[in-house]
Amino acid sequence: MIRTRYSAIALALSLATAAVSLLAPASVSAQADNQLEVFSWWTSGGEAAALDQLFAGFGARRPSAEIVNATIAGGGGSAARPVLQTRLAGGNPPDTWQVHPGWELLGQYVEAGYVEPITELYQSEGWNQVMPQGLIDTMTRDGQIYAVLAGVHRGNGFWYNKKLLSQQGISVGSSLSFDEFFQAADKLKAAGITPLCVGDSGIWASAELFENTLLGVVGPEKWMGLWNGSVAFDSPEVKQAMTIYGRMLDYENSDHAALSWDQATKKVMEGSCAFNSMGDWAYGEFHNARLVDNEDFGWVSHPGTDGAFVIVADGFVMARNAPHRENNAEWLKAIGSKETQEAFNPVKGSIPARTDVDRSKFGPYHNWSMDSFKTATLVPSVVHGEAAPAAFQQALNDAVTTFVTNHNVDAFSQALVSGMRAAAPTTGL
Ligand code: BGC
């Protein structure tokens, strides 16, 4: 049974349950009720359909348990994370929540003691053998692992309406340069078609357009340099990326600030604009609308980013003092299972974290993305909390909000230099 609500759940038995092993049989459960509260921001059509697949995986293991679906709308978690933070600080955690590995998991939740290690599930479920060590490392602190991944999104997707482009005599090959994009954009504009769809009522979506453009200009090696301090945000190549980003914004839809990310994707589907730079949760929207890969829509890496894979992985955790600890262990086991990963990811757009899935169960986009994961340089996303601390993520969003209206490259780069300086003392960056 699934119930949607957002409300406090009593912590009556939190102390009693804290000592129970993750592997303990249900019979020793001290749970007050048979629930599981799952906190996420998966509310768009594609996201909600995918979340249902995780619920089904859990339901098969715990048929009598009631799922409390605590979602907070707002792509990228911009609205959900502050609510979660308040709950955690108030000692009122959901059982489990959606999290990105890297800084977000380790810096915000592990550091503060809000989550428990699930290392023993990795052992009992054999996940160490079937999930890439590089991904596990981004969830590990002091030898303990703190989350299990439902899937791995590719952040640097560039989606397009295939029929619309061919009507305009524009064909996109296996990669797209900035010059090729601008040529296509001019042609579309001349035909009265909006070239680029953006839905940045949540500013992160425009920050993502910038993130992808920055990576496309500086390349993966310097991208990593931005996070280890060897490349500065006022370096010439970063400023060049900002200039190109400003140029791209000149081709965006005028109602961008009124739209959410998925409404922008919908505009691509409807043909009222041509391209959309977005992580492959956009695939989930195409899939949910029953559109067909390579027929109705196409994709390519965001200009300049071919050969790079921006990782935006989605994990779930075990809250410290989780109210429904044993249900949660079953939830996490379901998420890491082959069946659930094979059911969830085709709907969500991400690829499975497990490498032993049956690839024939996935369509053309997923197989392309799985190949990309194997061969591309994997880099963390800053917009989705992996590459840098939350303080810098916020500074980036603020700087993007200003840049979208004033296009001032110097002010933009200075804001990021200051943002990184402010974040550095606490992080050692
Ligand atoms: C998450 C995705 C989600 C996207 C848009 C990202 O931060 O990792 O799972 O679909 O935000 O809401």
pLDDT of residue 425: 54
Ligand 1 pocket mutation, candidates 277, 287, 312, 344, criterion most atoms within 8 A of CB: 312
Would you give the distance in Å from CA 19 to the centre of its chain? Answer: 32
pLDDT of residue 2: 64
**Backbone torsions φ then ψ of 177, nearest 5 degrees:** -90, 170
Atom of ligand 1 nearest to the CA of 350: 9
pLDDT of residue 28: 37
Show the tokens assigned to 33.
Answer: 């009720």
Q: Whose CA is nearest to atom 7 of ligand 1?
A: 76
> With contact defined as beta carbons under 8 Å apart, do 305 and 216 qualify?
yes
- Residue 44 Cα to ligand 1 middle (Å): 10
Among candidates 90, 70, 9, which has minimal Cα distance to 323?
9
> With contact defined as beta carbons under 8 Å apart, do 392 and 383 qualify?
no
In whole angstroms, give the CA distance from residue 244 to residue 261. Answer: 21
Residue ranges and CATH numbers for the domains of the chain are 2-153+312-378 (3.40.190.10), 157-309+382-427 (3.40.190.10)
In whole angstroms, give the CA distance from residue 317 to residue 329. Answer: 9
- Residue 283 Cα to ligand 1 middle (Å): 12
pLDDT of residue 7: 33
pLDDT band at 110 (very low <50, low <70, confident <90, very high): very high
Residue 32 scores a pLDDT above 80: no
**Backbone torsions φ then ψ of 189, nearest 5 degrees:** -60, -45
pLDDT of residue 424: 73
- Residue 313 Cα to ligand 1 middle (Å): 9
pLDDT band at 4 (very low <50, low <70, confident <90, very high): low
Atom of ligand 1 nearest to the CA of 384: 7
Secondary structure class of 89 (helix, strand, coil): helix
Q: Whose CA is nearest to atom 10 of ligand 1?
A: 281
Tens digit of pLDDT for each residue in 326-383? 999 999 999 999 999 999 999 999 999 999 999 999 999 999 999 999 999 999 999 9
- Residue 40 Cα to ligand 1 middle (Å): 9
Tens digit of pLDDT for each residue in 169-184? 999 999 999 999 999 9
In whole angstroms, give the CA distance from residue 357 to residue 337. Answer: 10
> Which DSSP string do the residues of 367-395 spell out, in sequence order?
HHHHHHHHHSEEEE-TTTTSSS-HHHHHH
Tens digit of pLDDT for each residue in 70-87? 999 999 999 999 999 999
- Residue 408 Cα to ligand 1 middle (Å): 29
Among candidates 187, 216, 185, 180, which has minimal Cα distance to 198?
185
Question: Ligand 1 pocket: which residues have CB below 6 Å?
Answer: 41, 47, 75-77, 153, 281, 312, 314, 384
Residues present in the chain in total: 429
